[in-house]
Amino acid sequence: MSVRGGIVDFYPLTSEVAYRVEWFDDEIDSIRTFDPADQRSIEKLTAYTVPPCQELLAEEERFRNAAQLASELLEKQLEKMSDRMAKDRLRTEIGAELERLREHVYFPELYKYIALLYPERKTLLDYMPSDTLLLLDEPTRLVETARQLERDEAEWATHLLQNGKSLPGFELARPADELLYHRPFPTLFLSLFLRQIPHTQPQNILNFMCRAMQNFHGQMNVLKAEIERWRKSGATIMMLAGSAERIERMRRVLHDYDIEPPLLLEGQLQSGFELPSSHLVVITEGEMFSQKQRKARRIDKKSIMPNGSKAIPS
């Protein structure tokens, strides 16, 4: 968040754009989105809900319960210890944090108490509707990444324990096996290569080809030729833009180049794609309007004169 006079900027982690609120005295004059790279306005808004600036949010009762549980864990751990200096260090470190918990104060080390604040240990899957279709992209890589994260977390927890900054009962993440192998919903696996997925017996295996969408770099004549080719092959063409204003801009550009607009939709994708077997083409505004990156010219330092001019060989 940035505050400059009567202007307040928000850049949520979950958003691709930033938000600017302009004030006139004690009243909001305007709300709009803008591109952080060049500060250009994107879309005007009539309202905006500011998300919390921290991940852990809990009411006072949860703080008190977490403090009580942590206090019990602390006493159990102190009974097992014989080193007086280590016991004093642990009692001082954890005791100070327990006081903050009892006073319902947020502090940087609050993440260590997440399992005590939320004993339900719910995940995103617990909030999904019953008819959810779970899609896992490259499940083997997901398992490998989860294993590495668990190893890193174990090393980090050991380091905190050795320095008297944590307790054995402090758990951070749910085990990966619980989330990856005990799936409560029908699951669709996507994988570049056909391989065995642990604890999984797929009912159906479907192979299909997917092509990455080319970048047109604003060359509308090239885009027009490709659209005509796709239409002749009977493909369904979709174009995605991030907002209603961007869709309207896309429509105007297509009209200026005498291109019959395909299906224009509001949505966000990192990149477009083509599914030849399904006759489906998806193009994002990034592929349409992104500019080519010019390579910087390399100048030999030896050919530069002290005053900055280039030397011309005779």
Q: Residue 308: its pLDDT value, please?
A: 44
Which among 162, 177, 192 is the end of a domain? 177
Task: Check whether residue 73 and residue 12 sit in a common domain.
Answer: no
Task: Check whether residue 14 and residue 116 sit in a common domain.
Answer: no
Which among 177, 200, 227 is the end of a domain? 177
In a domain, 70, yes or no: yes
Task: Check whether residue 86 and residue 153 sit in a common domain.
Answer: yes
Q: Residue 299: its pLDDT value, please?
A: 47
Q: Name the stretches of the chain with pLDDT < 50.
A: 299, 301-314
- Report the C-alpha gap between 203 and 72 in whole angstroms: 48
Which among 157, 177, 197 is the end of a domain? 177
Task: Check whether residue 152 and residue 223 sit in a common domain.
Answer: no
Helices 84-102 and 60-80: crossing angle in degrees, nearest 10, is 170
In a domain, 78, yes or no: yes
In a domain, 313, yes or no: no
Task: Check whether residue 64 and residue 33 sit in a common domain.
Answer: no
Task: Tally the domains of the chain.
Answer: 3
In a domain, 199, yes or no: no
In a domain, 114, yes or no: yes
Strands 273-275 and 211-212 turn out to be antiparallel
Task: Check whether residue 235 and residue 284 sit in a common domain.
Answer: yes
Buried residues in 139-158 as b, exposed as e (16+ CB within 10 A): bbebbeebeeeeeeeeeebe
- Report the C-alpha gap between 31 and 41 in whole angstroms: 10
Task: Check whether residue 33 and residue 65 sit in a common domain.
Answer: no
In a domain, 80, yes or no: yes
Task: Check whether residue 36 and residue 82 sit in a common domain.
Answer: no
Helix (H, G, I), strand (E, B) or coil at 174: coil
**How does the average pLDDT of the chain come out, rounded?**
86
Q: Residue 75: its pLDDT value, please?
A: 94
- The answer to pTM > 0.85 is no
Give me the CATH number covering residue 274: 3.40.50
CA angle in degrees (0–180, nearest 5) for 286-287-288: 90
Per the structure, the complete domain to which residue 258 belongs is given by 211-289
Task: Check whether residue 129 and residue 64 sit in a common domain.
Answer: yes
The full DSSP string for 140-167 is HHHHHHHHHHHHHHHHHHHHHHHTTS--
In a domain, 277, yes or no: yes
Task: Check whether residue 219 and residue 275 sit in a common domain.
Answer: yes
In a domain, 311, yes or no: no
Compute CA distances 237 → 18, 264, 265, 270, 272, whole Å: 30, 9, 11, 17, 11
Give me the CATH number covering residue 18: 3.30.2060.10
Task: Check whether residue 155 and residue 101 sit in a common domain.
Answer: yes
Task: Check whether residue 7 and residue 111 sit in a common domain.
Answer: no
pLDDT in tens, 109-166: 999 999 999 999 888 888 899 899 998 888 888 888 999 999 999 999 999 999 999 9
Q: Residue 123: its pLDDT value, please?
A: 87
Q: Residue 292: its pLDDT value, please?
A: 58
Q: Residue 152: its pLDDT value, please?
A: 93
Q: Residue 31: its pLDDT value, please?
A: 94
